Amino acid sequence: MATTEQQHQHLHEVHEHLRHATTSDSPEEIRERLRRAELALERHERETNGQTSTGARPTAV
């Protein structure tokens, strides 16, 4: 389970990706920023649900 600090960091990453988008960006630049933000959000959701960055669930020891 991700800690509150880890959750905050992931959300901060998503915010940073979106914050840098401006109206002068090309459609390709905006799409790339959105893609990166979506990847960061997916990583956050996986880690929050107890999965590793590879998508595999950690095994019990």
- Angle CA(36)–CA(48)–CA(5) in degrees, nearest 5? 85
Length of the chain: 61
Q: Please give the average per-residue pLDDT across 33-53, as a whole number.
A: 79
Which amino acid is located at 42 in the chain?
E
Could you identify the residue written with the tokens 């990847």? 39
Separation CA 23–CA 29 (nearest Å): 10
pLDDT of the residue at 48: 79
Q: Please give the average per-residue pLDDT across 27-48, as a whole number.
A: 85
Task: Report the predicted TM-score, pTM, of the whole model to 2 decimal places.
Answer: 0.48
Gyration radius (Cα) of the chain, Å: 14
pLDDT digits (tens, 9 = 90+) for 3-36: 788 778 878 877 776 776 667 778 888 888 888 8
pLDDT tier at 61, thresholds 50, 70, 90: very low
Task: Tell me the HSE value of 19 on the side-chain side, using a 13 A CA sphere.
Answer: 6
pLDDT of the residue at 31: 87
